[in-house]
Structure 1
Amino acid sequence: MPFFQVQIIDKIYGSHKGLKPAQLRQLSRLYSLPFPLNRFLSIEFGERLAALSAELETPLCVYANRRGQVVRVGVGTPKETQFSIDELPRQGTERLSGLRCIATQFDMQGPNRGALTALALQRLDALVILDVAVEGFRRRSAAPSGFVQRAQIANLVPDPLARWVVSTPQSLSQVAAQDFDVFLEDLEDEFRRTATARAVESDRERVLLVDFFSTRTSQRAMEEELSELVQLVTSAGGEVLKVFYQRRAQPDPSTLIGQGKLEEVALSVQDLGANLVVCGRELTPTQGRNLEQAVGVRVVDRNELILDIFARRARSHEGKLQVELAQLQYLLPRLTGRGGALSRLGGGIGTRGPGETKLETDRRIIRRRIAKLQLEVNALQAHRARLRARRQRKEVPVFALVGYTNAGKSTLLNTLTDADALVADQLFATLDPTTRRLELPTGDPVLLTDTVGFIHDLPPQLIDAFRATLEEVTEADALLHVVDLSNPAWMNHIQAVQRILESLPIATGPQLLVFNKVDRVSPELRSFAEQEYPLALFISAQKGWGFLSLRQALLRWVRSLTDLPLAESSIDGEP
């Protein structure tokens, strides 16, 4: 039960080391001191807190709610005594947490970065810093020990560039005389106006990207991976607000990234009004839970993001079937440690597919559902096997179009066969396989099958769930490996596709490398690719360039598959 719904207790937070029982009792009495409802604090409360802090020679923090109740007394700085995200009352980009913090310090330097970070992470109504005179710190003033020399008020502002403001130094009586209710009403009005403006600007999910790289990763490789992650979020319907990454020898086992970077992400969530954090690495259940608690919004990893895109793209019954199986296989080992993240109401990235009821069910029911889906996938495999056997009896060669996602496979299929496969400049635009008949100029028929696009580190759940679809690749007579030559990472894409093909349980047929989108590249790049891959073809599926060479290659393969001689002049008249 949240702290604001229970009776006030006398627990002391922070470090108790060196404190005597009598001193702990003095701290506990702060819970029962009167606290004004419509003021930042009272003079009496400030003086009592300062005197006790000077006596103990340590900073103290007191947190009070809007009912005038002291809800936490801590020994240490605001950063050392702050509430965790899950302990705080419900909050949002348009409202604050309903808590204010009164903190003491001795160095007369005003609130430091750690205190202001605690202010932002907890979305406090206000942070009041009392500079207290203490014997060991009395350098600038002859004030007696325990005297409040000055006070400053810090509060959040909706401007992400400013983030917070700190008042000029004032006396304790000046701070105590200010109307807290008026201050708070004006401040929350500003936040509400900003949140409304953001909602009008975009109805998409506002996303922060977080990725981790080892110290051995090159700058170019990092840029390519981050660029692809941005494209994935865009394909899922999100709006990327900011990108964070960290290079370390090893990832943090509890949060993936270090504490400093994590605080930076959490602050940006508050500043930019983000409602989702996407991590570029697969997260363990513990990492996912800890990240959500630290940043205060939903966190999904790259695998969950890809599964979400597949859920958006699935149109046929078999596509939806395979996506649901993949999502449940991903969810099953993550039930433990998810905590409140299982209740994902309202839709959005990472919530599509099997639905809210599936996400809230227990392991036993999920396993039962997975078993049922696997039986249906097995039936789908058998159905596809019968279709392939029928094609083989007719001795029609089958060529499968494979390649990295967004390489232009669907455009190539549409141009060659007048098909109507979905074409879009986004990742995983096509999910369901499409097979069309193509007649070569000699009259020889072939079948072209457009398959789902690949991506590096494809989630293993997808490979397992889509085995019925991927069998179209393994059972094809030959593969046309389509590569987007205009993508700066085209060489890495070739390697990624090869790794996935090699990981399939059944060996694939021979491959023909087809470089697409050559109309978008420089002559120097094309010349380099021709030298590296002398047997490859170079085409533009959108403009129809290079189709003569492509059909000649298909015809040669048809003749080799049927053991018939190739007539050299059979397609000379093709335009």
Structure 2
Amino acid sequence: MKQLRRLYQQRLPQDCFTTPEFAQRLAAISTDLQEPLCVYLNRRGQVIRVGVGTLQQTKIPLLELPRYGAERLCGIRCITTTLKRNPPKTSNLTAMAIQRLDSLVTLTLTGQGFQRRGGGATGYVQEAYLAHLIPQPDPQIKERPYWMLSPPMSLEVLTQQDFLELVEGLEAEFRREFVAQAVDIDQDRVLLVGVQTAETSDTAFSETLTELARLVDTAGGEVLQELTQKRARPHPQTVIGAGKVQEVALAVQTLGANLVCFDRDLSPAQVRNLEQEFGVRVCDRTELILDIFAQRARSGAGKLQVELAQLEYMLPRLTGKGQAMSRLGGGIGTRGPGETKLETERRAIQRRIARLQKEVNQLQAHRSRLRQQRQKQEVPTVAIIGYTNAGKSTLINTLTNAEVYTADQLFATLDPTTRRLTVEHPTTGDPLTVLLTDTVGFIHELPPPLLNAFRATLEEVTEADALLHLVDLSHPAWQHQIESVSEILAEMPLLPAPVLLVFNKLDQVESDTLKQAKRLYPSALYIAASQRIGLETLRQQLAELVVESESPQVLEAWQQ
């Protein structure tokens, strides 16, 4: 222990990888211990960390390393010893790349050297290997080398090489490659990670990853790469296996990512474990959707509901700082750790959630009174439902000249919009007023916090006289989207109201897809809302739908 502590007093020349004296000293200690030794030095030549074990075992936690991104190295180099005359293992080289070390010097030692005075054997350096990272201009090339490993060299040759010249040249090359990618510093650089379990088909898994990439794009991020793994079941601690964790961590460092997004919900412990391994933020699908909702909410009601959903999601994911952030009491019986900062934050969030729930209940009651007034006026309501980005807002703008925000993005609008539409009664030909309501878009596996927080909005669906189910026929997974919407509707306390199935974006659909849809859904309508194709037929069908909702059979079913 004394010899290991004395290593911290050493200081090497700044332009040298190591000196012969320092290398032989490490060889002597490592042979004495019969264990590998890792010594980390900064660019001033000072020893900042000493570990007994391999580089993989003694690596610096990523959260403690400076984060410069993909354009710089971390400013720390490592000198390690090995008792076997072998080149460094891939695991050590991977650990070097994950930490973005300036370089890795591996000293191979002879088994037994000369006898030291006072007993005990010491070894000496037989040969050395030098490894360092190299720029990666194309992130799409798989199985590309991340590092360069020199052939074995003598200690004398190694000590004559210029360390600073190598590092400065590498960082200049890294910076050129990084700038050549035209990176927007305001965008999150995201790695997508997908886990395919036994019950998930290849098609469904591909659709999930594609949708996750669209969500990242909607949230304002840039997808750098997608990494996938097939497992019988997710790992309870890290979701993915240990080897894939190392692969993702390596990709984070080499591509300069600052966020890793998973295609499933993560537990608080899994997020904590993954962030320690990756050194960057980790988010799951629910958190990503909540972030999009926070960006898109415009009205006071929408912001209120988003804040409630975020707090309900955040509450079980709070982490404390221990007794250092505790509140101490005074007097007999009150001394000790007291109330931790974690408990204080948790109670404050619980109070805020309770207050928000009261406001959501008041909002729910207010909208209920508005609906009762409309029902007294005997004005039928039709709720436009459908998967997100199906074109619901475009349709209500086209039919009623509303000015709802529209964009080719997921969850472009969140706040419900109700507008009047006049159609002809199918029997008498008299003008018939209908209220059209644009609702929030549905998505596969809608997060429970969102479903609970948006109950005031979704009540526009549950108490509508009829439903207009809009489907984006141009989407490759349009059948899966119909199933997802049907599953969500089945979980809601809906009144027995007729549903009109309408396929949108007819102008972007291939003929084979159109034939398949007509064969599966012969009674559906086909329109192109942006091009005003099929809108007259839709108006007639809406009038028939509203009249059908007022039929005695529907009223009898409602009473039952």
Instruction: State which of 523, 527, 533 in structure 1 corresponds to 2:521.
Output: 533
Which residue in 1 is equivalent to 2:557? none
Aligned in 2, Cα 1:278/1:180: closer, same or farther, shift over 3 Å?
Answer: same
Question: How far 1:435 sits from its partner (Å)?
Answer: 0.9
Instruction: State which of 59, 72, 77 in structure 2 corresponds to 1:82.
Output: 59
Comparing 363-372 with 145-154, greater Cα deviation is found at 145-154
Give SS of 1:480's match.
strand
Aligned in 2, Cα 1:261/1:155: closer, same or farther, shift over 3 Å?
Answer: same
Q: Tell me how far apart the structure 1 counterparts of residues 85 and 248 of structure 2 sit (CA, whole Å).
A: 29
The equivalences for 1:406-485 within 5 A come to: 406-441=389-424, 442=429, 443-485=431-473
Which residue in 1 is equivalent to 2:294? 311
Question: How far 1:133 sits from its partner (Å)?
Answer: 2.6
Which residue in 1 is equivalent to 2:490? 502
Instruction: State which of 307, 322, 325 in structure 1 corresponds to 2:308.
Output: 325
Tell me if 1:223 matches 2:206: yes
Aligned in 2, Cα 1:29/1:558: closer, same or farther, shift over 3 Å?
Answer: closer
Which residue in 2 is equivalent to 1:511? 499
Comparing 62-71 with 287-296, greater Cα deviation is found at 62-71
Give SS of 2:482's match.
helix
- RMSD of Structure 2 on Structure 1 (CA): 2.7
Q: Tell me how far apart the structure 2 counterparts of residues 34 and 263 of structure 1 sit (CA, whole Å).
A: 32
Q: Tell me how far apart the structure 2 counterparts of residues 36 and 286 of structure 1 sit (CA, whole Å).
A: 43
Q: Tell me how far apart the structure 1 counterparts of residues 462 and 294 of structure 2 sit (CA, whole Å).
A: 24
Return 5+ residue gaps in structure 2 as ranges: 114-120, 138-143, 323-341, 553-560
Say whether the 8 Å CA contact 2:389–2:408 is kept in structure 1.
yes
Question: How far 1:189 sits from its partner (Å)?
Answer: 3.7
Give SS of 2:358's match.
helix
Which residue in 2 is equivalent to 1:116? 93
| Cα deviations by residue, 1:148-167 (Å, 9 ceiling, x for unpaired) | 23222212233355432223
Tell me if 1:560 matches 2:548: yes
Which residue in 2 is equivalent to 1:523? 511
Say whether the 8 Å CA contact 1:285–1:338 is kept in structure 2.
no
Tell me if 1:184 matches 2:172: no
Question: How far 1:90 sits from its partner (Å)?
Answer: 5.1
Say whether the 8 Å CA contact 2:17–2:159 is kept in structure 1.
yes
Give SS of 2:403's match.
coil
Q: Tell me how far apart the structure 1 counterparts of residues 261 and 320 of structure 2 sit (CA, whole Å).
A: 18
Instruction: State which of 355, 365, 368 in structure 2 corresponds to 1:382.
Output: 365
- Given residue 464 of structure 2, which amino acid in structure 1 is its aligned partner? A
Say whether the 8 Å CA contact 2:468–2:499 is kept in structure 1.
yes
Aligned residues: percent identity? Answer: 58
| Cα deviations by residue, 1:113-167 (Å, 9 ceiling, x for unpaired) | 111111111221211011223269xxxxxxx983323222212233355432223
Question: How far 1:222 sits from its partner (Å)?
Answer: 1.1
Q: Tell me how far apart the structure 2 counterparts of residues 526 and 196 of structure 1 sit (CA, whole Å).
A: 45
Number of matched residues?
516
Give SS of 1:381's match.
helix
Which residue in 2 is equivalent to 1:103? 80
Which residue in 2 is equivalent to 1:127? 104
Q: Tell me how far apart the structure 2 counterparts of residues 323 and 315 of structure 1 sit (CA, whole Å).
A: 10
Task: Provide TM-score, normalisation by structure 1.
Answer: 0.84
Instruction: State which of 212, 230, 249 in structure 2 corresponds to 1:266.
Output: 249
Comparing 289-298 with 399-408, greater Cα deviation is found at 289-298
- Given residue 432 of structure 2, which amino acid in structure 1 is its aligned partner? D
- Given residue 189 of structure 2, which amino acid in structure 1 is its aligned partner? R
Q: Tell me how far apart the structure 2 counterparts of residues 338 and 387 of structure 1 sit (CA, whole Å).
A: 48
| Cα deviations by residue, 1:25-71 (Å, 9 ceiling, x for unpaired) | 55555445554444211101111222343454443222223444433
Q: Tell me how far apart the structure 2 counterparts of residues 197 and 527 of structure 1 sit (CA, whole Å).
A: 46
Say whether the 8 Å CA contact 2:194–2:228 is kept in structure 1.
yes
Question: How far 1:98 sits from its partner (Å)?
Answer: 2.9
Instruction: State which of 276, 280, 305 in structure 1 corresponds to 2:263.
Output: 280
Which residue in 2 is equivalent to 1:342? none
Give SS of 2:50's match.
strand
- Given residue 516 of structure 2, which amino acid in structure 1 is its aligned partner? F
The equivalences for 1:332-351 within 5 A come to: 332-336=315-319
| Cα deviations by residue, 1:395-437 (Å, 9 ceiling, x for unpaired) | 1110000010011111111221122212211111111111111
Q: Tell me how far apart the structure 2 counterparts of residues 338 and 158 of structure 1 sit (CA, whole Å).
A: 38
Question: How far 1:248 sits from its partner (Å)?
Answer: 0.5
Which residue in 2 is equivalent to 1:149? 126
Question: How far 1:219 sits from its partner (Å)?
Answer: 1.2
Q: Tell me how far apart the structure 1 counterparts of residues 130 and 317 of structure 2 sit (CA, whole Å).
A: 43
Return 5+ residue gaps in structure 1 as ranges: 1-9, 11-24, 137-143, 340-358, 565-575
| Cα deviations by residue, 1:363-418 (Å, 9 ceiling, x for unpaired) | 11111111221121111111111211111111111000001001111111122112
The equivalences for 1:162-311 within 5 A come to: 162-198=145-181, 200=183, 203-311=186-294
Say whether the 8 Å CA contact 1:51–1:145 is kept in structure 2.
yes
Which residue in 2 is equivalent to 1:14? none
Question: How far 1:229 sits from its partner (Å)?
Answer: 0.5
Question: How far 1:251 sits from its partner (Å)?
Answer: 0.9
Give SS of 1:542's match.
helix
Question: How far 1:197 sits from its partner (Å)?
Answer: 4.7
Which residue in 2 is equivalent to 1:491? 479
Say whether the 8 Å CA contact 1:133–1:145 is kept in structure 2.
no
Say whether the 8 Å CA contact 1:289–1:337 is kept in structure 2.
no
| Cα deviations by residue, 1:323-352 (Å, 9 ceiling, x for unpaired) | 11111111111113799xxxxxxxxxxxxx
| Cα deviations by residue, 1:460-487 (Å, 9 ceiling, x for unpaired) | 1111111111111111101001111221
Q: Tell me how far apart the structure 2 counterparts of residues 130 and 508 of structure 1 sit (CA, whole Å).
A: 77
Q: Tell me how far apart the structure 2 counterparts of residues 338 and 289 of structure 1 sit (CA, whole Å).
A: 14
